[in-house]
Amino acid sequence: MLDGQPVTTASAAGWFFIGFDRDAPASSEIRVDTPEGPLLRRLDILPGDFDVQRIGGLPQDQVSPSDPVLLERIGREAALKAAALESRLDAEGFTAGFEMPLDSWRLSARFGGQRILNGEAKRPHYGADLAAPAGSVIRAPCEGLVTLAEPAMHFEGGLTMIDHGQGLTSFYLHQSRLDVAVGQQVVRGQAIGAVGMTGRATGPHLCWRLKWRDRNLDPTLLSGFRVPGLG
């Protein structure tokens, strides 16, 4: 239970995952119901530091689309993503931590920045943008199940989603090439696609996103993380 809401059931080995997003409250309570009774822990959450990201010169249909045919397509693509996010793989590969998905990169836009696109205030940037040459290999940062692999979404371009278990799903946007298909199991380090600039992108980069259930997390915070005691 997180702040009184039931959110997840631990794996058979007792592992579960909880995430806090950009606008999380300053304090949260986790309650774990065990056969021996409930365990409570209150967590204090420090405020993050988020920048403002101004991007101009985007085609208007990438900022405020109004064409009914395009809006219908965007709606259909949103439904595909929502369906993929319903996946609840019973897995705990996340306990081994995440690697970065590229061998080399430059962080070109941080997670959580307030976005101003063509002068319009938009939703915060819920990804980490990793700039790299087009064609650079993207690797699965952790084992999981491919739940979506679409080569040409309107905003995301070539998009792959991977379920890592416990409601934790990672996203890989703007790919020039997809190397995996829906239903495929991937292992850590496996090539899943290539960096591109398809969809809403002004240059070749990987927009790497991570969701825990409906919350957007900063994926770079998981890279290099190891669960204490598991090595």
Nearer to Zn ion, 168 or 207 (CB): 207
Paired tokens of 38: 């409930």
Compute the least distance from the CB of residue 126 to Zn ion, in Å: 8
Compute the least distance from the CB of residue 104 to Zn ion, in Å: 18
* Torsional class of 176: left (φ above 0), alpha (ψ -120 to 50), beta (otherwise): alpha
Nearer to Zn ion, 18 or 131 (CB): 131
Main-chain dihedrals φ then ψ at residue 158, nearest 5 degrees: -70, 115
DSSP string spanning 136-181?
PEEE-SS-EEEEEEEEEETTTEEEEEEE-STTEEEEEEEESEE---
Paired tokens of 135: 């064609």
Nearer to Zn ion, 115 or 139 (CB): 115
Say if strands 144-153 and 137-139 run parallel, antiparallel, or are unpaired: unpaired
Which residues contact Zn ion (rule: CB under 5 A)? 127, 129, 207
Nearer to Zn ion, 159 or 207 (CB): 207
Compute the least distance from the CB of residue 165 to Zn ion, in Å: 24
Compute the least distance from the CB of residue 46 to Zn ion, in Å: 24
Compute the least distance from the CB of residue 171 to Zn ion, in Å: 10
Nearer to Zn ion, 129 or 218 (CB): 129
Buried b (16+ CB within 10 A) or exposed e, 211-225: bbbebbbbbbebbee
